[in-house]
Amino acid sequence: MTNDETKKAVLDIIADIAPDEDLSNLKSDLRLRDQVQLDSMDFLDIVMELRKRHGIEVPEAEYGKLASLDSCAEYLTPKFNALEAKR
Amino acid sequence: MNSRSHYEVVILGAGLSGLAAGVRLAHFGKKVCIFERHNAPGGLNSFYSINGRKFDVGLHAVTNYVPQGVRGTALSRVLRQLRIDRSELDLCEQRQSRITFGKSQPVTLNFNNQFAFFESEVAKHFPLEVDGLKRLVERIKATDYSPQAPVLSARAVIKEFIHDPLLEDMLLCVPLFYGSAQEGDMSYSQFAMLFQASILEGLARPFDGIRPLIKVLLDKYRAGGGERRMKCGVKRIKVNAGKVSVLILDSEEEITADVVLSSIGALETTALIDNQSNADSNLQSSPHVTEGRISFAETISVYKGEPLELGFGQDTALFFNDSDRLDYSAPKTQIDTRCGVVCIPNNFIFGADRKMPEGIVKITCLANYSLWTNLSDEKYKADKEAWYMQMQRSALKYYPSANEYQLKGSLIQSDMFTPKTVKRFTGHLNGAIYGSPTKNISGTTAISNLYLCGTDQGFLGIIGAMLSGVTMANTHILTKGGVEA
């Protein structure tokens, strides 16, 4: 899995959680929260959808790593790849 | 082991809170089953048919309306959490509603979904109070809804800002009629929630009423793999060592569950508990849960033609009271026609190409549960007919251009529910529409794997009920101890 694929996976989740947000011009180095209106319930849903769709666990202490698309990619891509290697 | 079915979560009641909780839980892979005693889902907001004509039971309006694009409110939160696209609900805004109060010289405050308009109405009739209203609204917007917040009286808080008792009653009446289980007053946080939902945000209606909303929830629930058993209530809950051990269904079948979420009411749930370890232990952590007494009668009249043409004007809803002070309490007579609500479903803005096929006028008044029960069938029927007429007359005083004889000629069908009907279809003690005055915002009980959602948890209105199911499912099941499995 590449970083871009990870970003796409996260964006797909956000698009389903918040279909009323425009995601076409997101800057991947800026905080998601500053660009789209996501509250704590929405962030929890991102975490829960990652687990449901991809089997990826994000411990509460590491929620901060999901702040921007870049940080999501950096944090989640190794997790995606580790899971793929197991299969 | 025996052949009992086991579920991760069992939900009692297929009302809006139970369905919403079910949608969340099923979506995230929980093995969940909803048990509903009746054949129709929706609970307080259900539907029925007579002679092929479809009626909604509870729905006057969906509160919490905000325009497309406004985020961070209850409506957008519920839609996101349930993965509902806003267009699926087909929400149509109200035209205009009003509050008309007073004995000799009634005062009318009109309102629509623009709060500035309501504020200008207050400025017109209560010029000295408008600054107080602005400060009250700031207070409402900053309300702390957490379970730890102190319980305050709504009247006491309003009085800090508003001095005219007439305006106090008028500001309180929409929240009272649309959600208060308490007589005379309500808790401040419940008032703030409903004032926000109905006056600061607004009223709307799906063109086809409550059915499409329930259908959306059922479809999502089914798509997530949730199970549903209709005409099958839970009649006993066996508790052992502080935990639910077995649930016994109306069919005598026994099932087990890791967690039980009950939307049927706090005292109604307590009544099911068969405690094997300690007969005295109470469901509630706080022992003072009181029975609700607020119930209503509602007439529904179906007319040939638009209510506007029959003299009902543009009103979406009218809140009326013709006594000195608003007496929101269980009346001493079968029905109290001095105050009430008129709702005209035709008067939402459906768009130029859509019109309801018939005119509908609903009139709702406070009613006394015990005076409607234990009547012979004959007397019950006769009393309903007599009060139907009295309720029409009390409401028609506010529609001088409507003519009783013309209305009679245009009337196609009518129906009426009483507190007895409410009891029969919701199971609420005393037919108390809004449940117990004691709310349990945290939803936790003295039984470790039993939680409340819905009316007695305390989020109100249709959107509030769904938010209650969502919040309780999230807090007590999906994210318990963090989101890790």
pTM metric for this prediction: 0.94
**What residue numbers bound the domain in which B471 lies?**
5-60+209-290+437-478
Going by pLDDT thresholds of 50, 70 and 90, the confidence category of residue B52 is: confident
- Strand-pair partners of B32: B9
**Testing the interface with A: which of B28, B68, B71 to mutate, by most A Cβ within 10 A?**
B71
- For B360, counting Cβ atoms within 10 Å of its Cβ (0-12 exposed, 13-18 middle, 19+ buried), the class is buried
pLDDT of residue B283: 57
With respect to residue B88, please indicate whether it lies within any of the assigned structural domains.
Answer: no
Residues B305-361 pLDDT 10s? 999 999 999 999 999 999 999 999 999 999 999 999 999 999 999 998 999 999 999
B190/B218 same-domain check: no
- Note the residue count of chain B: 485
Going by pLDDT thresholds of 50, 70 and 90, the confidence category of residue B57 is: confident
Please judge whether A37 and B29 are an interchain contact, meaning their C-beta atoms are less than 8 angstroms apart.
no
pLDDT of residue B280: 47
Please judge whether B484 and A41 are an interchain contact, meaning their C-beta atoms are less than 8 angstroms apart.
no
- Note the residue count of chain A: 87
pLDDT of residue A3: 95
Contacts of B69 in chain A (CB under 8 A): 20
Nearest to B86 among A20, A39, A60 (CB): A20
Contacts of B68 in chain A (CB under 8 A): 20
Nearest to A44 among B76, B79, B483 (CB): B483
With respect to residue B81, please indicate whether it lies within any of the assigned structural domains.
Answer: no
Residues B345-404 pLDDT 10s? 999 999 989 999 999 999 999 999 999 998 999 999 999 999 999 999 999 999 999 998
Per-residue three-class SS string for chain B: CCCCEEEEEEEECCEHHHHHHHHHHHHCCCCEEEECCCCCCEHHHCEEEECCEEEECCCCCECCCCCCCCCCCHHHHHHHHCCCCHHHCCEEEECEEEEEECCCCCEEEEECCCHHHHHHHHHHHCHHHHHHHHHHHHHHHCCCCCCCCCCCEHHHHHHHHCCCHHHHHHHHHHHHHCCCCCCCCCEHHHHHHHHHHHHHHCCEEECCCHHHHHHHHHHHHHHCCCEEECCCCEEEEEEECCEEEEEEECCCCEEEEEEEEECCCHHHHHCCEEECCCCCCCCCCCCCCCCCCCEEEEEEEEECCCHHHHCCCCEEEEEEECCCCCCCCCCCCCEEEEEEEEECHHHECCCCCCCCCCEEEEEEEEECCCCCCCCCHHHHHHHHHHHHHHHHHHHHCCCCCCCHHHHHHHEEEEEEECHHHHHHHHCCHHHCCCCCCCCCCCCECCCCCEEECCCCCCCCHHHHHHHHHHHHHHHHHHCCCCCCC
Rounded to a whole number of angstroms, the distance from the CA of A29 to the nearest CA of chain B is: 24
What's the number of CA atoms in the CB half-sphere (13 Å) around residue A7? 16
Contacts of A51 in chain B (CB under 8 A): 483, 485
- Comparing CA positions, the residue from B48, B47, B50 lying closest to residue B15 is B47
Please judge whether A58 and B29 are an interchain contact, meaning their C-beta atoms are less than 8 angstroms apart.
no
Tell me whether A57 touches chain B (CB under 8 Å): yes
Q: DSSP 3-state assignment of A31? A: strand
The mean per-residue pLDDT over the stretch B190-212 comes to: 96
Tell me whether A53 touches chain B (CB under 8 Å): no
The total of other beta-carbon atoms located within 10 Å of residue B87's CB is: 9
Tell me whether A22 touches chain B (CB under 8 Å): no
**Residue B443 pLDDT exceeds 70:** yes
Going by pLDDT thresholds of 50, 70 and 90, the confidence category of residue B429 is: very high
**What residue numbers bound the domain in which A45 lies?**
3-86
Locus of tokens 């039980």: B260
Contacts of A16 in chain B (CB under 8 A): 83
**Residue B480 pLDDT exceeds 80:** no
What's the CA gap between B150 and B172, in Å, rounded?
20
- The CATH number for B29's domain is 3.50.50.60
B284/B298 same-domain check: no
- Confirm if B455 and B44 have CB atoms less than 8 A apart: yes
- The CATH number for A22's domain is 1.10.1200.10
**Testing the interface with B: which of A48, A66, A79 to mutate, by most B Cβ within 10 A?**
A48
Contacts of A45 in chain B (CB under 8 A): 80-81
Rounded to a whole number of angstroms, the distance from the CA of B217 to the nearest CA of chain A is: 16
- Confirm if B214 and B41 have CB atoms less than 8 A apart: yes
Cα B271 → chain centroid: 22
Please judge whether B484 and A57 are an interchain contact, meaning their C-beta atoms are less than 8 angstroms apart.
yes
Rounded to a whole number of angstroms, the distance from the CA of B482 to the nearest CA of chain A is: 6
Contacts of B27 in chain A (CB under 8 A): 52
Counted domains in chain A: 1
What's the CA gap between B472 and B470, in Å, rounded?
6
Joined tokens for residue B261: 């979420």
B197/B310 same-domain check: no
With respect to residue B68, please indicate whether it lies within any of the assigned structural domains.
Answer: no
Q: DSSP 3-state assignment of A6? A: helix
Nearest to B81 among A19, A20, A41 (CB): A41
pLDDT over 90 percentage in chain B: 87
- Comparing CA positions, the residue from B363, B245, B260 lying closest to residue B12 is B260
**Residue B485 pLDDT exceeds 50:** no
Tell me whether A46 touches chain B (CB under 8 Å): no
With respect to residue B91, please indicate whether it lies within any of the assigned structural domains.
Answer: no
- Confirm if B366 and B340 have CB atoms less than 8 A apart: yes
Contacts of A42 in chain B (CB under 8 A): 80
Alpha carbon distances (Å) from B64 to B220, B288, B314: 22, 31, 21
Contacts of A58 in chain B (CB under 8 A): 483
B313/B271 same-domain check: no
B322/B403 same-domain check: yes
What's the CA gap between B224 and B238, in Å, rounded?
29
Please judge whether B72 and A44 are an interchain contact, meaning their C-beta atoms are less than 8 angstroms apart.
no
B182/B238 same-domain check: no
**Residue B50 pLDDT exceeds 90:** no
B322/B402 same-domain check: yes
Counted domains in chain B: 3
- Confirm if B14 and B36 have CB atoms less than 8 A apart: yes
- Comparing CA positions, the residue from B99, B244, B102, B78 lying closest to residue B175 is B99
Please judge whether A48 and B478 are an interchain contact, meaning their C-beta atoms are less than 8 angstroms apart.
yes
Per DSSP, helices labelled H in A18-68 are: 32-35, 40-54
The total of other beta-carbon atoms located within 10 Å of residue B270's CB is: 18
- In sequence order, the 6+-apart residues with CB closer than 8 A to the CB of B23 are B82, B83, B217, B220, B221, B224, B226, B469
B159/B175 same-domain check: yes
Tell me whether A37 touches chain B (CB under 8 Å): yes
**Testing the interface with A: which of B25, B80, B84, B476 to mutate, by most A Cβ within 10 A?**
B80
Please judge whether B483 and A47 are an interchain contact, meaning their C-beta atoms are less than 8 angstroms apart.
yes
Average pLDDT in chain B: 93
Rounded to a whole number of angstroms, the distance from the CA of B437 to the nearest CA of chain A is: 29
Residues B213-261 pLDDT 10s? 999 999 999 999 999 999 999 999 999 999 999 999 999 999 999 999 9
Residues B107-161 pLDDT 10s? 999 999 999 999 999 999 999 999 999 999 999 999 999 888 999 999 999 999 9
